[in-house]
Amino acid sequence: MKTVECIELTKQYGKTKAINNLSFTLSENKITGLIGRNGAGKTTLLKMIAGYLRHSSGEIQVFGVNPFNSLKVSANTIFIDNGMSFSNMLTLLELLESAKRFYPNWNHDLALKLFDYFSFSPNLSHVNLSKGMKSTFNMIIGLAARCPLTIFDEPTSGMDAGTRKDFYRALLKDYIAEPRTIILSSHLIDEVEDILEEVLLIKNGEKLLHTPVEELKEFAIGIRGKTEALKEWMEKIEPIYIQEIGANISYAVIKNDRSLIELENAKAIGLEVVPVPTEDICTYLTSKTKGGIDHVFS
């Protein structure tokens, strides 16, 4: 079953298209990573899915209806980001109590255990929390709500390394206990890729890739060696990324669609074939030029 379906979805702010002609579907009970650089349109897309923003053109359906102003969507969705505001009249514990009344699937036992594990003081108010602690508190609400559609927008920003790991492990464990559709946006694919099932990669509001996460891993390979040899071998190949890394040595990233014979030929002329970390694949695919930051200085 489709939980989210977008067809040629576009969102314009003035003349700028934050989301441009985006089509994809997310099926039920999968964890999808929404990956893109700063300003790629991740938050705009997530806010449209959650029903916070109206789209400009195209179509968007969540649980089969247009999410904007939809009670059905808002009752079954939770959107967690670091801009969440809570009443300062209530203590943290009272906030959990009121969330319990609000979300029908709320797991209060889980909420209290996480609250305790992360050493929150029950009588503090949300405004007094540090950035990382705010993110952690929001995460507890997002997990305990157990909404059929759970959206986390950059959930780990401000968290320390240990808390990040805890968060992703808690997310995975609770997903196994209670499968639901989860969308997780991040610009750091490294720390999320293992728990994802699918990856949706966007750049300038457009879709670059939507694939199972293993296919992203195998999407590209790196070729390294003498610049002339590399140039000759690459004559008819369009690189995803290319960089000179030293005197007369270059490194190129290309799509992993070369035949074994071509790769053997590359090895025969002294080129090395190396795996490319997923993080780098995402960076190169979403970067604005093929040479990266070095182009600015050359």
Partner 1 sequence: MWYVGGEISLILNPDSMKPIYIQISEWLESEILNRTIDTNEKIYSQYQLAEMFNINPATAAKGINILADEKVLYKKRGLGMFVAADAKEIILIKRKNTKLNAMVTELAKEAVQLNVSEEELINMIRGMHQKIKGEEK
Q: Which of 94, 191, 197, 244 binds partner 1 (CB under 8 A)?
A: 197
**Shortest spacing between CB 148 and partner 1, in angstroms:** 17
Determine if 270 is a binding residue for partner 1 (CB under 8 A): no
Stretch of residues binding partner 1 (CB under 8 A), selected from 12-20, 133-141, 191-199, 246-254: 191-199
Determine if 272 is a binding residue for partner 1 (CB under 8 A): no
Would you say 176 or 293 has its CB closer to partner 1? 176
Would you say 52 or 168 has its CB closer to partner 1? 168
Determine if 31 is a binding residue for partner 1 (CB under 8 A): yes
**Shortest spacing between CB 217 and partner 1, in angstroms:** 6
Q: Which of 119, 162, 259, 261 binds partner 1 (CB under 8 A)?
A: 162
Long-range CB pairs of 75-78 (<8 Å, 24+ gap) are 75/104, 76/147, 76/148, 76/149, 77/49, 77/50, 77/51, 77/147, 77/148, 77/149, 77/150, 77/151, 78/103, 78/141, 78/142, 78/145, 78/147, 78/149, 78/150, 78/151
Number of residues that bind partner 1 (CB under 8 A): 23
Determine if 2 is a binding residue for partner 1 (CB under 8 A): no
Determine if 275 is a binding residue for partner 1 (CB under 8 A): yes
**Shortest spacing between CB 166 and partner 1, in angstroms:** 6
Would you say 122 or 212 has its CB closer to partner 1? 212
Would you say 214 or 228 has its CB closer to partner 1? 214
Q: How far apart are CA 59 and CA 6, in angstroms?
A: 6
Determine if 213 is a binding residue for partner 1 (CB under 8 A): yes
Determine if 124 is a binding residue for partner 1 (CB under 8 A): no
Burial class, 274, CB count within 10 angstroms (exposed 0-12 / middle 13-18 / buried 19+): exposed
Closest CA to 180 of 149, 144, 151: 149
The residue written with tokens 């780098």 in the block is 280
Q: Which of 218, 228, 262, 272 binds partner 1 (CB under 8 A)?
A: 218
Would you say 99 or 189 has its CB closer to partner 1? 189
**Shortest spacing between CB 145 and partner 1, in angstroms:** 21
Determine if 223 is a binding residue for partner 1 (CB under 8 A): no
Strand order in the sheet with 241-246: 241-246, 249-255, 220-226, 272-275
Stretch of residues binding partner 1 (CB under 8 A), selected from 67-75, 81-89, 100-108, 208-216: 208-216
Determine if 168 is a binding residue for partner 1 (CB under 8 A): yes
Q: How far apart are CA 150 and CA 145, in angstroms?
A: 9
Determine if 172 is a binding residue for partner 1 (CB under 8 A): yes
Q: Which residues bind partner 1 (CB under 8 A)?
A: 30-31, 117, 162, 165-166, 168-169, 172-173, 175-176, 194-197, 212-214, 217-218, 275, 277
